[in-house]
Structures are given as C-alpha cells and as structure tokens.
Structure 1
C-alpha cells in the first residue's frame, strides 16, 4: 500500500469472515484456500498458544501485510484502532476469522484458558513492515 492509503486505513475496513465448515458425526473441518475464502494469498501461517492470563499480544500495525486471525480453540478479543476510532471483536468460533488490513493497529487480549490464535498472513515475516510503537503509528497517521 502507498502511504496515503495507509493513512486512510480505518477500522471499518476490518471484516469478520465466516469460513466454510464441514461437520459430520466424526468432527468438523474448515478449509481455507488462497484468495477464495479470504481476500489474499497466504504466505505465512503461525499460531499463538500457552498464553498466560492477563497477557496482551500483538500491539502493532502492518504497512503491507494483511492478516486473518482465527480462534482455533478457546476465545479472545481483538482490539483494532486506526488512530481515531477503536473497536473490539470477540473471536470464539473456529469458523470465523477477523481480516485486519494494513494500516490498522491490533492487539489480542482476554485469552481464555487453552486458547489457540491461528494467524494467516499475506506476506512473509519482515520486521520493516511493522509499526510496533503506537506513538509512532499515530504520528504517521496524522501526518498530511
């Protein structure tokens, strides 16, 4: 994304996506395919687990990378911010994911015991793609 598009990124650009699910007596399955169920091709997958109570994860925004977060097990909240507005989403079903586009700050918190946060991303890891300091993020968003 170019700088102007990043500055225009808003929390209403985040979206809850209902993923397909196939349920049988033997269990359930949720397939996720590139650019079909989600609005990007997947380049990286990781998951967070064994998260102690009261801990907040994330606390950053991306410059290029899209993310889809899924509560593969348990539940947690995702607080998103664009520097002007905030919203909290509760993820508690493994067939719903929150799409977070570049330019939106996100923090994961309120993890239930045994939670697993599955993260699918549009880019491989690159430290230069992150804003990790909220003050620097706000400064960038307010520059004209």
Structure 2
C-alpha cells in the first residue's frame, strides 16, 4: 500500500508542478505580448511626434519665406513710390522718401520730431490740473436747471 500512496503523491506533486509551470509560461507569454504591444505603441508615438515636428518645421520655414517675400514686396513698392515721387514732384521729396526707406532719416526735419504723450490736459497758469481731487468742483453748487420738455405735436 505504501507504493500506491507514493504513486498518488508523486502524481499530485507532478500535476501541481505542471500546473505551476503552465501558469508561469502563460504569464511570461502575456508579459512578452504586453512588452511587444508597448514597444509598438511607443514606435507609433515616436513616428507621430516626428511627423508633427516635421510639420512645425515646414510651417516656420514657409512663414519665414512668406515674411521675406512680404518684406521684399514692401521694399519694391517703396522704391517704386520713391522713384515716382522723384519723377513727378521735386527731387527733395523723392530723396527724403528714399532715405526713409533705407532707415536713414534726416535729423533736421521738424516734421519728424515726436513728442512724448501727455497724460494731462493743458491748464491755465495758477489753475488746478485735471488730476487734482477737487478739479471741477465749485464751493457753491447750484441746483441744475431742468431741461425744457418738448411737446409732441400730432399731425
């Protein structure tokens, strides 16, 4: 009897060991599948990122080219207007336009002086400025006169 119980025990241990090995084999296979899936998703994400970066580079290249074309067109228009001004009007005006286009403005031109903006209204000497707390307030306030009412005329 001893041999059958050993045989049964060896069978149960073998079955448990087989089940354990099968479980570990399927689990490692699932891990391999997950790893391959993650690697595939990572490659797809890298491909999308590279495509996006390429699109951004193309966008900025095209924008730079368009801005360059716009600048060149502006120069051409300005040069055309300056040449036309020289032909159609006095040479001084044409020369000033050419100098303005090249970024060289004359220092003695009174029309080009720019004053800093004023943040106050001009006032009479001795008067209170508009930023004063009591500007426009009289010590003796009079009651406002009511506006005349208009009569409706039926036709």
Same fold (TM over 0.5): no
Structure having greater relative contact order (Cα 8 Å, sep ≥ 6)? 1
Looking at secondary structure, tell me which structure has more strand per residue.
1
Question: Which TM bucket (shorter chain)?
Answer: under 0.3
Query: Computing the radius of gyration over CA atoms, which structure comes out larger, 1 or 2?
Result: 2
